[in-house]
Amino acid sequence: MTLLLQYVANGLAAGSLYALVALGIVLLYRCSRVLNFAHGDLATLGVFFAFSGLTRGWPYGLALLGGLAGAAAVSAAFYRLLIKPVRQATALSLVITTLGFALFLSGVMVWVWGTDTKVFPFPLSEVRVFRLGGVVVSELTAGSLAVGLVLVAGLSALVQRTRLGLAMRAVAQNPVAAQLLGVPAGQVLAATWAVAGALGAAAGMLLAPAVLLDPFMMLDPFLKGFAAAVLGGMDSLPGAVAGGLILGLAESVFAGYVSVKYKATLSFVVIVAVLLVRPEGLLGRPFHRRV
């Protein structure tokens, strides 16, 4: 039982980060119907912005805020300059646009910061641990889980209790009707992309101390976040959170009781299984096309 609780604790910590990545993916898909395959690279860019601030002697909090703001600004600019002009194009064209931007960002990061892995300073240690009965949890794991849950709650409050959140929901529901009612849809969508970029960067900053920082650091977490989004439902923010936590728990238990070797493939098995059994995801709504 103690061993299972240990796996659950580790799985929840990883799942909270997957949920942050999945929330950014779902938020963009709900509002703009775009699958942003550059989401992971935007997150990594935000972490590099924060790393550059730290290496220049900025206060820690200011460097982290600078990284979040940088990721948000680049994400909003990406929407304004590249996505908005081609929004009426086919879904495949939009996917190719985001993939092209992802490759561009990877090249820029390699050119500016190189390919060598870097240690991202973090106030929480993976060596110092808390002991809860027989369960051992590192400071970094506990902190990642706590911050992840706080950010999830913050996004929920933003969407449900603010004017910006109301505008986001209106644009997601019916952008034409929202514009007719005076909602500046373009500004709302740009703000949505900025929020998604900041969420991704926050997840990257929590991951960087454990996995080390390099231009391709977020590739695996992005795929896990995408799997979590599919699992929970691409149009459901609660589904993204549930999908991330479920995937994190499943990976941890699978690695502990079955094999660490095939842990990385579990997310792809999840995607295929969910699409076969429930294409709309666990909490998503069935899609009906009118003919």
Per-position DSSP letters for 5-29, written without gaps between them: HHHHHHHHHHHHHHHHHHHHHHHHH
- Which pLDDT does position 30 carry in this prediction? 87
CA nearest 41: which of 190, 211, 240, 223? Answer: 223
Please give the share of the chain, as a percent, with pLDDT higher than 70: 96
What value does the mean pLDDT take over residues 249-256?
Answer: 85
Q: Higher-confidence residue: 277 or 284?
A: 277
What value does the mean pLDDT take over residues 219-243?
Answer: 88
* Three-state secondary-structure class, residue 150: helix
What value does the mean pLDDT take over residues 152-171?
Answer: 89
- Which pLDDT does position 287 carry in this prediction? 52
DSSP 290: -
Cα angle at 80 between 41 and 109, to 5 degrees?
A: 25
Q: Indicate if the pLDDT at residue 173 is higher than 90.
A: no
Q: What gap in Å lies between CA 108 and CA 190, rounded to an integer?
A: 23
| Range with lowest mean pLDDT among 1-5, 24-28, 31-35, 223-227 | 1-5
Please state at what angle helix 2-32 crosses helix 163-173, rounded to 10 degrees: 70
- Which pLDDT does position 290 carry in this prediction? 45
pTM: 0.90
Please state at what angle helix 219-232 crosses helix 237-257, rounded to 10 degrees: 120
- Which pLDDT does position 289 carry in this prediction? 47
Q: Higher-confidence residue: 134 or 80?
A: 80
Both tokens of 278, joined, read: 């429930």
Question: Taking all residues of the chain, what is their mean pLDDT, rounded to a whole number?
Answer: 86
Q: What gap in Å lies between CA 177 and CA 179, rounded to an integer?
A: 5
Q: What gap in Å lies between CA 259 and CA 51, rounded to an integer?
A: 34
Q: pLDDT tens across 278-291, in order?
A: 877 777 776 554 43
What value does the mean pLDDT take over residues 163-188?
Answer: 86
Query: From start to end of 81-227, where are the E strands?
Result: 129-132, 135-138
Q: pLDDT tens across 7-65, in order?
A: 888 888 888 889 999 999 999 998 888 889 999 999 999 999 999 999 998 998 999 99
pLDDT band at 227 (very low <50, low <70, confident <90, very high): confident
132 forms beta bridges with 135
Q: Indicate if the pLDDT at residue 170 is higher than 80.
A: yes
Compute the 3-state secondary structure of the chain and give helix, strand, coil in percent, each to the nearest 5.
75, 5, 25
| 24 HSE (CA, 13 A, CB side) | 37
pLDDT band at 215 (very low <50, low <70, confident <90, very high): very high
* Three-state secondary-structure class, residue 60: helix
Both tokens of 93, joined, read: 């064209």
Q: Indicate if the pLDDT at residue 146 is higher than 90.
A: no
Contact criterion met (CB below 8 Å) for 228 and 39: no
Contact criterion met (CB below 8 Å) for 86 and 93: yes
Both tokens of 46, joined, read: 């935000």
